[in-house]
Structure 1
Amino acid sequence: MKLNRHVRDIVRTYLTIAMTDIELDDPRARSDRREVSGPFDIIGDVHGCAGELETLLTRLGYDVRWSGTPGTASVEVVPPAGRRAIFVGDLVDRGPRSPDVLRIVMSMVESGAAFAVPGNHDVKFLRWLDGKDVKPTHGLDRTIAQFEGETKAFRNRVREFFTTLPIYVWLEGGRLAVAHAGIKEEMLGRVSGEVRRFCLYGETSGETDEFGLPIRYHWAAEYRGRTAIVYGHTPVPAAGWVHNTICIDTGCCFGGNLSALRWPEREIVAIAAERVYMVPVRPFGHPPLRPGAMV
């Protein structure tokens, strides 16, 4: 079977992830954080939309403070008392300011004001930073262009940041988990190639659809677990609960919203995109059910 470039790139990434079945020793890479409790503000796929991220953080009560010149900019984000943010991944690509999104998120994670998990776009960008052969598609070309003016030190800092992220976080005594594309309850507490692939890509068929994109299945429709799962990856028109899961990717980079779930309040806070940065190839919405799914 002949694969298109996009699918070949995903297959290469799958194989890379499959070779890594253990977590790093760095404590920041720990996925099992059941000892940590909220309240949290869980933020959907940012995709380089730094302006919208600043607006959303401000609305949630965070104080975003920039300093320095454009070439040496730094940022400090002060959270509301007692709250922390969690980012569901896909920080880069498509939007106009991926480096600034990373400055904000890295600062928050380093100060303890946030957790973050990687998305598939972040992993692909990390492979580019490592000098691997990746195709600059689906917005990666924009991130590469935006990094042309960044220093080697900043690139190295970004590389270390992505390398040390946990593939998911399991919190609140087991009541809450956050992963980019989702996670099944039986995967919680484990880290393996299979778990990593699911967290990054969700449930896929290995084939492509009429848009030339990987076919995804609506794994959440079959979920019956007690742990609430918050995820992104597949843009939906509005965030809503499906059983005990919620997708908070509402397509900001495509002209939709940037959304956050306030936990434990279960309240959605959303702000509209400033403009359309990229036209979506596939319509917004949950993917179809897996053939033979029991729902």
Structure 2
Amino acid sequence: MRTFAIGDIHGGLKALTQVLNKLEIKDDDTLIFMGDYVDGWSESAQVIDLLIDLSQTFNCIFIKGNHDVWCEQWLSSKEVNPTWYIHGGKETMDSYEGYSVEKKKAHLQFFENLKMYYIDSVNRLFLHAGFTSMHGVEKEVVKETLYYDRTLWEMALSLDKNLPKTNVSYPKRLGHYSEIFIGHTPTTNFNVDVPMHAANVWNIDTGAAFKGKVTGMNIDTKVFVQSDNLPGLYPNEQGRNK
């Protein structure tokens, strides 16, 4: 039994397909998707189609990202958030052209059922962005923090690499979990195109929304596979490189 965490996709169906093929998924594998399935490249609706299909065959856990929240709101109310529109929403709306009312309802249900976070049997935490409560993710008061926060990753990056988890100065936020897996903040912001590790946090958003890749990581071995760079897969598009 293997478990893979798959980073932000942002409408890159071709990239997601590459990653799934490279992982050579088996029936007893678990796939944990870290959120931001839509917004950026031209196949957001088609990404959701594939994720729904995968969940019929494999054990899939879907985390909610901030872009997924925006798309859910649009599917539910038909209202267009202006911030969403300029950050990939237009491309997502275009990808739904020709979709029936019933198909859109099925996608809305998918978004409504996304998890805010997931904790596995050995106390590994999976969430899209971060959290601020020193008492752990369950005690986070403002739930939007779970898909917007960047301070958790900033804190992990700033820590002394030699500081042991048992040290009194080790951040209580991090100490609640054996490991934490996130997306949301592209590693390409730091000129890195592979997953980054700081303290007990793994960041597997490798910039698929922009000029990077989609990544799938075995959470036990930390071996990972990646797609091609998204601009190469969608040469006539800009993604969110605007």
**TM-score, normalised relative to structure 1:** 0.66
What's the counterpart of residue 48 of structure 1? Answer: 11
Q: Of 131, 144, 160, which aligns to 2:93?
A: 144
- Residue pairs, 1:226-237, within 5 angstroms: 226-236=177-187, 237=192
TM-superposed CA distance for 1:273, in Å, is 2.1
What's the counterpart of residue 115 of structure 1? Answer: 61
TM-superposed CA distance for 1:112, in Å, is 4.2
Distance (whole Å) between structure 1 residues aligned to residue 121 and residue 106 of structure 2: 29
What amino acid maps onto 1:271 in structure 2?
S
Distance (whole Å) between structure 2 residues aligned to residue 107 and residue 183 of structure 1: 31
Residue 162 of structure 1: SS of its match in structure 2?
helix
TM-superposed CA distance for 1:203, in Å, is 4.0
Q: Which moved more, 1:131-140 or 1:178-187?
A: 178-187
Cα deviation per residue 1:108-150 (whole Å; 9 max; x = unaligned)?
2344431111100000111111224511120101101111211
Structure 1 residues 125 and 219 mapped into 2: Cα distance closer, same or farther (>3 Å)?
farther
RMSD of aligned residue pairs (Cα, Å):
2.2
- Residue pairs, 1:74-93, within 5 angstroms: 80-93=26-39
Q: Of 253, 260, 276, which aligns to 2:216?
A: 260
Structure 2: any 5+ residue segments left out of the alignment? Answer: 160-170, 233-237
Structure 1 residues 181 and 149 mapped into 2: Cα distance closer, same or farther (>3 Å)?
same
Q: Of 153, 164, 167, which aligns to 2:116?
A: 167
Moved over 6 A (4+): none
Structure 1: any 5+ residue segments left out of the alignment? Answer: 1-37, 63-79, 205-215, 282-295
TM-superposed CA distance for 1:252, in Å, is 1.8
Q: Identity over the aligned pairs, expressed in percent? A: 24
Residue 144 of structure 1: SS of its match in structure 2?
helix
Is the CA contact (8 Å cut-off) linking 2:39 and 2:87 kept in structure 1?
yes
Structure 1 residues 42 and 217 mapped into 2: Cα distance closer, same or farther (>3 Å)?
closer
TM-superposed CA distance for 1:163, in Å, is 0.7
Cα deviation per residue 1:62-101 (whole Å; 9 max; x = unaligned)?
3xxxxxxxxxxxxxxxxx1421111100000111211111
Aligned length: 213
What's the counterpart of residue 65 of structure 1? Answer: none
What's the counterpart of residue 220 of structure 1? Answer: 156
What amino acid maps onto 1:227 in structure 2?
S
Is the CA contact (8 Å cut-off) linking 1:182 and 1:230 kept in structure 2?
no
What amino acid maps onto 2:106 in structure 1?
R
Is the CA contact (8 Å cut-off) linking 1:234 and 1:249 kept in structure 2?
yes
Structure 1 residues 274 and 200 mapped into 2: Cα distance closer, same or farther (>3 Å)?
closer
Is the CA contact (8 Å cut-off) linking 1:230 and 1:248 kept in structure 2?
yes
Distance (whole Å) between structure 1 residues aligned to residue 60 and residue 11 of structure 2: 18
What amino acid maps onto 1:218 in structure 2?
E
- Residue pairs, 1:120-131, within 5 angstroms: 120-131=66-77
What amino acid maps onto 1:198 in structure 2?
T
Is the CA contact (8 Å cut-off) linking 2:131 and 2:140 kept in structure 1?
no
What's the counterpart of residue 24 of structure 2? Answer: 61
Distance (whole Å) between structure 1 residues aligned to residue 52 and residue 36 of structure 2: 13
Distance (whole Å) between structure 1 residues aligned to residue 4 and residue 178 of structure 2: 17
Q: Of 80, 104, 115, which aligns to 1:155?
A: 104
Q: Does residue 186 of structure 1 match 2:139?
A: no
What's the counterpart of residue 145 of structure 2? Answer: 198
Distance (whole Å) between structure 2 residues aligned to residue 83 and residue 112 of structure 1: 7
Residue 56 of structure 1: SS of its match in structure 2?
helix
Is the CA contact (8 Å cut-off) linking 1:252 and 1:272 kept in structure 2?
no
Distance (whole Å) between structure 2 residues aligned to residue 133 and residue 255 of structure 1: 26
Cα deviation per residue 1:167-214 (whole Å; 9 max; x = unaligned)?
01100231x1110113467323x26542x222110146xxxxxxxxxx
Q: Does residue 278 of structure 1 match 2:210?
A: no
Structure 1 residues 253 and 88 mapped into 2: Cα distance closer, same or farther (>3 Å)?
same
